[in-house]
Structure 1
Amino acid sequence: MFSDQWVEAEKDVIPIEQFSYAVYYAFIKYLYIDTLDLNVEDAIGVLDLANAYCDESLKMKCIRFLRNGITVDNAAHLYSIAIRYHAPELEDFAFNFCIHHMTKITQTEAFSGMEKDIIVAFVVKAGNHGAFKH
């Protein structure tokens, strides 16, 4: 890329703007010292980056981190993220968390902000798991 006829070969600085500074910083730190030190939102960004770079090891570390950071306020969002990034382990964990806190979860901004098709699939899946028995 830098020796061929690419536009980037003529530049001293190549801006990389797909991810935030915090996400790139966490990624570089992970590459050098194998440590992830971030908040949940940055972990979602690093998961996106890991998915883009096909780094399964980093993807699994992000998933474990997100599982540990799940709350009533972010569970629905993490469920959506798990579906987007094909992370069945996180999807199952977030789904079960949501089932156990269904009333509170459905009243969060994260739940109302979910894509409609994901909400429909979630409600059907919850019904199949007996969430609406009573």
Structure 2
Amino acid sequence: MKNIWAYPADVGYQGQEPLTGFTVETPDGTLGQVERQMNEPGRQHLVVDTSVWVFGKSLLVPAGIVHSVDTAAKTVTVTHARDKIKAAPRFAFDSQTAEVGYLTEVGKYYAALGQPAAL
């Protein structure tokens, strides 16, 4: 199993520049905008504001599901559809990003989804 908490090597992005404000795209549309990101090894993830389609909700998106980063277009494309990401363990507050139990739960959820067939 790949590391869900690290950007895939083929993405060509390892946390070099901030992604805050980038639009996050899924195979079926826009997910939202990157509010914050964590680049600590073993815990790399994005916190995405989804107010464009789910009023007032943020989601934690592990770096391992990032498919591509386009710095010129300011977009991050992820591998899974919006409904799969929306069904992930609920992100309610920032301190959860430091909670081992929460991160384990999120990691298990995405590992169980596996890789989508194609983008």
TM-score range normalised by the length of the shorter chain: under 0.3
> What TM-score results when the alignment is normalised by the length of structure 1?
0.23
Q: Name the larger-Rg structure.
A: 1
Higher relative strand content: 2
> What TM-score results when the alignment is normalised by the length of structure 2?
0.25
